[in-house]
């Protein structure tokens, strides 16, 4: 934490909201001298106020604490930049095509890192115009697949799975893209999809 950076950020956000120091102080039930002290880097808001300050300025508590004044550059929705943020506490999942940070249950969400491997797939059957995929994973309460995702060049599909459920999913045929399987321990298996990808698994099982 950096008092000066946090102070500069609070001042910048306050001005963008067209609030005076007194108005912000009244909302937070502190004195305007306290707000002035924060903005000059001579002190930090009490921990109990950080979330409230973040809510007032439509930002995150983490950004307030870090004093991050940079704005995200708009880069458009691009599945090639697909990332998964996962809450290790409640299992909440956020998908994004931009570089962001998120928090859930009071903690920073984990950005799942890709592990290139197709060992997570056990075997595949063709069902109508879809693939019926059986995953090579247990589905116990302590070791299970949390979600599967299929990404093509212009869209993606996410399928949630839960403990004690069969490790089987149906996915559309994708000529080219990526196939993701996430475990509750934070592992994210990733395979490059192509026209014949699932065919090599059809004789297994």
Q: What is the pLDDT of residues 187-205, one digit of tens each?
A: 999 988 876 787 788 755 4
Using a 10 angstrom Cβ sphere, with 0-12 exposed, 13-18 middle and 19 or more buried, the burial of residue 135 is buried
Q: What is the CATH number of the domain that holds 7?
A: 1.10.260.40
**Cβ atoms of residues 159 and 148 within 8 Å:** yes
Q: Please, what sign has the CA dihedral across residues 20, 25, 26, 31? A: negative
The answer, as to whether pTM is greater than 0.95, is: no
Question: 161 in a domain, yes or no?
Answer: yes
Are residues 62 and 130 located together in one domain of the fold?
Answer: no
Condensed to tens digits (0 to 9), the pLDDT of residues 36-50 reads: 999 999 999 998 899
Q: Is the pLDDT reported for residue 75 higher than 60?
A: no
* Domain encompassing residue 185: 112-201
The percent of residues in the chain predicted with pLDDT above 70, rounded, is 91
Are residues 132 and 57 located together in one domain of the fold?
Answer: no
Question: 78 in a domain, yes or no?
Answer: no
Question: 62 in a domain, yes or no?
Answer: yes
> Of 49, 66, 83, which marks where a domain is finished?
66
């Amino acid at each position: 934490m950096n008092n000066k950076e946090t102070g500069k950020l609070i001042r910048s956000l306050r001005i963008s909201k067209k609030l005076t120091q007194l108005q912000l102080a009244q909302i937070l039930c502190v004195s305007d001298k306290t707000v002035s002290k924060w903005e000059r880097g001579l002190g930090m808001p009490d921990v109990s106020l950080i979330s409230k300050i973040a809510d007032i300025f439509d930002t995150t508590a983490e950004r307030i604490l870090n004093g991050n004044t940079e704005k995200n550059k708009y880069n458009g929705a691009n599945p090639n930049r697909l990332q998964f943020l996962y809450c290790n506490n409640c299992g909440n999942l956020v998908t994004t095509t931009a570089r962001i940070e998120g928090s859930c249950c009071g903690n920073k969400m984990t950005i799942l890192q890709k592990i290139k491997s197709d060992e997570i797939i056990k075997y595949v059957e063709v069902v109508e115009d879809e693939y019926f995929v059986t995953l090579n994973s247990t589905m116990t309460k302590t070791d299970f697949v949390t979600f599967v995702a299929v990404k093509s060049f212009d869209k993606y599909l996410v399928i949630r799975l839960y403990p004690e459920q069969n490790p089987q999913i149906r996915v559309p045929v994708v000529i080219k893209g990526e196939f993701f399987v996430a475990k509750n321990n934070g592992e994210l298996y990733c395979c490059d999809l192509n026209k014949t990808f699932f065919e090599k698994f059809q004789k297994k099982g």
